[in-house]
Structure 1
Amino acid sequence: MNSFNLQRRKEKVVVVMGVTGTGKSRLSIDLATQFPAEIVNSDKMQVYKGLDVVTNKVTEEEQCGVPHHLLGVVDHDAEFTATDFRHRASRSIESIVERDRLPIVVGGSNSYIQALVDDFEFRSKYECCFLWVDVSLPVLHSFVSNRVDRMVEAGLVDEVRRMFELDADYSRGIRRAIGVPEMDRYFRFETSADKEIRARLLEAAIDEIKANTWKLACCQLKKIHRLQNLWNWSLHHLDATDVFLKRGKEADEAWEKLVARPSTVIVEEFLYNGGTISAGVTAAAITAAVMGTAMAALTH
């Protein structure tokens, strides 16, 4: 009986990692439309209700009908720790597995992911496939700045204004989110300052949001490298840099070639063939192998 327990089959979980802005949510939804899957959010700000623009939550339309767990479910003033996440995420994953579906954990909060994956009880039940969506830092830097501008155009200022309080505590709950404390000085003087000063205060706030978002991305990348090197996590590296250098249809084609298609192959192997693809094999090599197989089939 002990031998049987040691060798019993573990359930499968896919984990999508990467720094802010690299396309993690997009990939998770792509995979969830290819496999019978549901998504578990592991972004520590997106677990909170509200501030959908600031926290960059996927919209209902973007979700493509895929069920999402731990997305906008925690009261905005509540404390939600890595331990809280581990408990809630474990319950969600267990529920997904019981319905014969694949859990896909996705988010940039690597401390949450580590708390879940390094838990002994979790490791005794589940086997993980880690997908790391990466973009070179110089390319990502420009994208992050532009994304903040798009968030401002989408209503970031009004969204944060509705939550502004003079005695707000920016160390708790959703008010820790980048985009909230940076706007404090602007709102304090918004009604008393003249137009020129207001414009300068707003510009300074937006610049600070961009700088802090970039700092977050760098910290997230360092944590991923630590998980890979010190904790010996086997991560499948997917370089999406070329996607971010293109626009429109060309960008979509690059995403399919460099990220979506290789990820699908990796997950298929993980689910059905025992995960035989090594984490050291690049997405380009996987794509070449897939294309080679397809061409061989056409010529025979």
Structure 2
Amino acid sequence: MDYSSESPAPTLNSNNGGEPIMEEHKPKLVVIMGPTGSGKSRLAIDLATHFPIEIINADSMQVYQGLDVLTNKVPLREQNGVPHHLLGTVSSDVEFTAKKFRDSAIPIISDILSRNHLPVIVGGTNYYIQAVVSSFLLDESVEDTSETYSRDHPGNEQTNHMPDILGDSCNYSYDLLKELDPVAADRIHPNNHRKINLYLSLYARSGVLPSKLYQGKAAEVGGQNWGRVDNSRYRCCFICIDAALPVLDQYVEHRVDCMIDAGLLNEVYDIYNPNGNYTLGLRQAIGVREFENFLQAYFSDSMDDETSDSSDGTLLKLSTRIDDKLFKENTRGILNSSCDNPQKVLLEEAIDKVKANTRRLVRRQKRRVNQLQTLFGWNISYVDATESISKKSDECWAVQVVGPAVKMIRSFLNKDDSNGQTPDGESKTSTDTVQRDLWTQYICKACGDRILRGAHEWEQHKQGRGHRKRMLSLRKSRSSSLA
């Protein structure tokens, strides 16, 4: 089957200049999305037994070299010979923006199509996927708007709209952006210092909220069509693997424990730098910064006896790093220690933070997939992996996940006018998994076995002041008992 267009499609620039590509000329593309832990990569690899596919990674952390355990890259032995693109290929210190991803992915897709193979984009970074699918890159237009405003208003670099907004603290800047323009803040990562400063400086110069500028620019170049499938570069089949939140929560917590056993701490040790920039590249990944307090305490305790006077009177560390093998043995000993020493408390707190932040990521990813449907009209077909994950059943996976996905893709490939449509009865929505979440019971031991019903109520409870104070008190009592 020929997955490319029958005749070469016109090339559009990133700002959607030129006429739209006719639907029948658009090449076909499969996109597999969903929250972390749902099994996106596994499904894509399984699809290779049914279609001649090649996988394009669209995970904003897996594109980087290194931290293979922490970012949960598919090991080479588990790729089953399926070609993977943009997986561990980018330097860890580079900020790989949506524009860079788009500019890298589009030629790869063309190359895959030239071999008469089916390109499959796999990942949970929706703004990467949007950048490839849409013929208009919104972030790029905002930067163009900023440059245009500066050019048209020389000497007016800072107005009184918001004086001295750009400080050294990225957290402060993000909180300020969130207060000023929550719509714009929701679009970017809290650690993306460059983009935060871009939006804040744009507001400082123009007095117009960044989200309003997005809307104006989008209307200028594409109106309500921006990001919609009817204005896309490709004919797309969107498949989302979903699962109930309690099942995903349990799975990702178990996965973090497995990552610790597989060497996650060694990877964090290798990339740790007390003076490093944790707002760019791979250091933004969940599971890096959470261990900062533990590593600071560990290195401080380990090197207290390894200092000497230098010729200029300053203290030099005789050993700036601890031996890798020794570090691995020490951290394993700390975790397995029967007594709760301060290092163990810090390490357990860091692991808990990784789990909590991963659970939050799952929820953000679910919300963003829903927004692609409600705001951009993407026709997303759902497959429910709840039972296969909870039961760890390969049979359930094959019947309930792989089978329906194969039918969806076959229907998509056999329809000349398909835009991700699936046969009646095959496409599911997220309603089933949402209903499961609503009826799940949680018990909070820290708050006197208080019962919470539903994932939303449980999350709200954990973020409440009373729960957080009790958890802090418990940690302090554990630490003070060690003194």
TM-score range, shorter chain: 0.7 to 0.9
- Equivalent residue number for residue 176 of structure 2: none
Residue pair 1:11, 1:126 contacting (<8 A) in 2 also = yes
Deviations 1:88-118 (A, max 9, x none): 1111101101111100000010111112112
**Equivalent of 2:240, from 132, 139, 145?**
132
Name the amino acid aligned to 2:251: F
Residue pair 2:133, 2:233 contacting (<8 A) in 1 also = no
Report the RMSD for the aligned CA atoms in angstroms.
Answer: 2.2
- Equivalent residue number for residue 254 of structure 1: 396
- Equivalent residue number for residue 384 of structure 2: 239
Residue pair 2:134, 2:232 contacting (<8 A) in 1 also = no
CA distance in 1, matches of 2:427, 2:233: 28
- Equivalent residue number for residue 85 of structure 1: 101
**Equivalent of 1:144, from 252, 259, 263?**
252
Q: Which has the higher contact order (CA 8 A, sep 6+)?
A: 1
Residue pair 2:411, 2:423 contacting (<8 A) in 1 also = no
Residue pair 1:39, 1:66 contacting (<8 A) in 2 also = yes
Is 1:203 the counterpart of 2:219? The answer is: no
Residue pair 2:40, 2:123 contacting (<8 A) in 1 also = yes
Offset at 1:283?
Answer: 5.9
Deviations 1:143-189 (A, max 9, x none): 11111001001000011101111101110100000010111111111
Deviations 1:195-254 (A, max 9, x none): 61111111011000001111111111110010011111000110111112213xxx1010
Structure 1 residues 188, 252: closer, same or farther in 2, change over 3 A? same
**Equivalent of 1:268, from 410, 432, 445?**
410
Offset at 1:278?
Answer: 4.4
Is 1:56 the counterpart of 2:35? The answer is: no
Q: Which has the larger radius of gyration?
A: 2
Residue pair 2:404, 2:426 contacting (<8 A) in 1 also = no
Name the amino acid aligned to 1:67: P
Is 1:108 the counterpart of 2:124? The answer is: yes
Aligned residues: 279
CA distance in 1, matches of 2:360, 2:287: 13
Name the amino acid aligned to 2:81: G
Is 1:22 the counterpart of 2:38? The answer is: yes
CA distance in 2, matches of 1:120, 1:158: 41
Structure 1 residues 181, 279: closer, same or farther in 2, change over 3 A? farther
- Equivalent residue number for residue 85 of structure 2: 69
Offset at 1:53?
Answer: 0.4
Is 1:34 the counterpart of 2:50? The answer is: yes
After TM superposition, the structure 1 stretch with the greater mean CA deviation from structure 2, 268-277 or 163-172, is 268-277
- TM-score with structure 2 setting the length: 0.55
After TM superposition, the structure 1 stretch with the greater mean CA deviation from structure 2, 193-202 or 140-149, is 193-202
Structure 1 residues 279, 52: closer, same or farther in 2, change over 3 A? farther
CA distance in 2, matches of 1:7, 1:85: 24
- Equivalent residue number for residue 11 of structure 1: 27
Name the amino acid aligned to 1:64: N
Between the aligned residues of both structures, percent identity stands at 46
Which sections of structure 1, spanning at least 5 residues, go unmatched? 285-300
Offset at 1:125?
Answer: 4.5
CA distance in 2, matches of 1:58, 1:94: 24
- TM-score with structure 1 setting the length: 0.87
Offset at 1:9?
Answer: 3.3
CA distance in 2, matches of 1:141, 1:7: 40
